[in-house]
Amino acid sequence: MSQYFENDPKLASKITEMTFDFDGRTYHLRTDAGVFSKDRLDTGTRILLETVIAHQSEPCSVLDMGCGIGSVSVILSHYWNSAFTMIDINQRAADRAAENIQRYHLQANLLCQDGITDGQFDCIVFNPPIRTGKQTIYRLFDECLEHLNGTLWIVMRKQHGAASALKFFEEKGLEVHRVRRDKGYWVLQILK
C-alpha cells in the first residue's frame, strides 16, 4: 500500500480540488491520490495553524516542513509577509503545492527532497509524518534544530509520542512549551 511519504509511480494520479474554510476565509486547493490528507484540512494541521497564528509574531523566514500540497504556507501567507520555503519528499505533493502557491500568488522556494539541506529559518512549522517511524521523525527534528534561528512549532497526537518529543527537546536544553492540547493533539513550541 502506498504511503504519503513515498513516491509511488504505480499509483494512478487523481487530481481533485478540496475546499475548506479557515478563519472566515474559503480555500480551494488542488490535491491528488497519494498525498497526506487528500480530502480535507486535517485536524492536527488546523490546530497547529490556529495556535501558530495566535502565538507567533510575523517572522522574516518560514520553513513549512513536510508541506504536502501547501496548505500551511498558503494559509500563513494571508497573515504574514514572510519568505516561505516549503519542503516535501513526495513529488506528487510538491507538484500540487506548486499549483496551489501559484493560485494564491505566494512567492515560495519549493523543494522536493528528504529533509533540510541548507538555510536558517526564524520559524519552522511541522506536522511530522508519524507513519515514517520514530527514527525518521527524530532525524527530521534534529535537522529542524540545525536550521532553526527562532521558533519550531510541532503538532503531534499524545498517543503518537508527543510527550516523548517534548522530552527529546527538553533533554537538548531547549526551552519547550506545550502551548495547546486539543482533541488528543499537543502543539509544542521549541525556542532556540
Report, in angstroms and rounded to the nearest whole number, the Rg of the chain calculated over CA atoms: 15
Q: Quick one: average pLDDT of 43-71? A: 98
The total number of structural domains in the chain stands at 1
Closest CA to 174 of 186, 188, 161: 188
Q: CATH no. for residue 128? A: 3.40.50.150
Q: Is 100 helix (H, G, I), strand (E, B) or coil?
A: helix
Is 24 within the bounds of a domain? no
Is 18 within the bounds of a domain? no
pLDDT value of residue 111: 98
Is 187 within the bounds of a domain? yes
pLDDT value of residue 38: 76
Is 26 within the bounds of a domain? no
DSSP type of residue 58:
P
Locus of grid cell 490535491:
31
Q: For residue range 79-135, what is the model confidence (pLDDT) as tens digits? A: 999 999 999 999 999 999 999 999 999 999 999 999 999 999 999 999 998 888 899
Q: For residue range 137-173, what is the model confidence (pLDDT) as tens digits? A: 999 999 999 999 999 999 999 999 999 999 999 999 9
Is 37 within the bounds of a domain? no
pLDDT value of residue 39: 78
143: containing domain: 42-191
- Rounded distance, CA 102 to CA 96, Å? 10
Is 6 within the bounds of a domain? no
Is 27 within the bounds of a domain? no
Q: Quick one: average pLDDT of 3-11? A: 61
Please tell me whether the overall predicted TM-score, pTM, comes out greater than 0.85 for this model. Answer: yes
Is 169 within the bounds of a domain? yes
